[in-house]
Amino acid sequence: MPLTRWLAEYAWLPDHAEPTPEVLIEVEDGRITAVAPLVGGGTPTAGVEVLRDATRLPGLTLPGLANAHSHAFHRALRGRTQGGRGDFWSWRDVMYDVAARLDPDSYLALARAAYAEMALAGITCVGEFHYLHHGPDGTPYADPNAMGAALIEAAAHAGIRLTLLDTCYLTATVDGAPLVGAQRRFGDGDALRWAERVSAIAPGNDHARVGAAIHSVRAVPAEQLATVAGWADRNGVPLHVHLSEQPAENDACRAVHGCTPTRLLADHGVLGPHTTAVHATHPTSADLALLGESRTGICLCPTTERDLADGIGPARRMAEAGSPLSLGSDSHAVIDLFEDARAVELDERLRTRRRGHFTPADLCAAATVAGHAALGWGDAGRLAVGDRADLVTVRLDSARTAGVPPVGAFHAATAADVRHVVVDGRTVVADGRHLTVDVPTELRDAIEAVTNR
């Protein structure tokens, strides 16, 4: 790609407490080659003549946002599960009904539209926690990875990067009950067969990478946890796991194994700096120490956690223990990492009845560089020379952001304020419009196809 130049009205640079005004960003071959703040309020370090070729980006330009935890097919549930009573387990029954209806073609259509919605929200990379592997009765497709291939193709169409977190899901309960109903399509029989199948995935494009996931201690027997963790370690890929999302999971694990899920994962070599625990809503103090001392990351999904009445995790204590925090939209009740970022602070205020736990820079880091690191993209999430050229520009003149200082974006902006998105140097969203996908129409059609509405 040729050299392009962007002039950001404000840009949030690495290790800065707040945005910097008037920053010239040069991009070539999908990488940032220069970041030059204006000197003395008038002359860029690269020279005045350079500005004639630069595209102006009014507003605040951020690094690309990273959605570290997604279940793309859950997008079909939005507005269909929020109005009734129940809990996580009753919601799960509705989710399984949609899961049973998908095939590679319908999954491609739904994921393409969902990922394009993410692009509109400023998300340049997504971690897809993928366990819809086989046909509805558990029979593999002719290509055993057809469903994963659909997700890889969907991300390419939407213009964002993908880490396919291929998920090992073998049992229905902590004590080893077999998969039944819609769950049958999740399973590979055992962890060795899971590893054999996932080893055959070849993304074939720079926009996608393969990682690993343990669905939960409910879904992978203790004696097979090390097989999944070992595969991830040998291949140098990220490993994710749902952890302590519900108190019932903790209780069941104690009843069967005599310890918490976190302790069980630690004992089988799952925790570590390349592992991300998703949710971790109900940890003990000992759990927090295990997670922090091992540098295990934690992906918080505040919108989903409150939508499902899961509870509020101790985010400040997690960070203080040493666990990097990232963010995910999970069930996609809302796709808005600005909302999820500020919820980390606001939920902590509810939990503690005190204000001021995370700075705006902390929230920005969770939504950007920490999420990319959790997904195995260590060269993204910063506006820095050598990093991938992901630029997300947020309006500062909307009804939500007018009069708000740039540093306040994560407390005021929403996904609707994203105006311009560049992924690996390519413009994907311009003036709030996705350049290749009619997002509302494709979402409507894809959801109707799998909900019969």
Q: Which residues participate in catalysis according to the annotation?
A: 279, 330
CA distances from 392 to 65, 118, 403 (A): 8, 12, 20
- Phi-psi sector, 159: left (phi>0), alpha (psi -120 to 50), beta: left
Q: Amino acid identity of 63? A: P
Taking a C-beta distance cutoff of 8 angstroms, is the pair 286, 316 a contact? no
Which residue blocks in 236-273 are alpha helix, DSSP H?
A: 247-257, 261-267
68 Cβ contact partners less than 8 Å away, ≥ 6 residues apart: 127, 240, 276, 299, 326, 327, 328, 371, 374, 375
* Distance in angstroms (rounded) separating the CA atoms of residues 85 and 71: 22
Q: How crowded is residue 303: how many other Cβ atoms within 10 Å of its Cβ?
A: 22
CA distances from 418 to 74, 82, 341 (A): 23, 26, 15
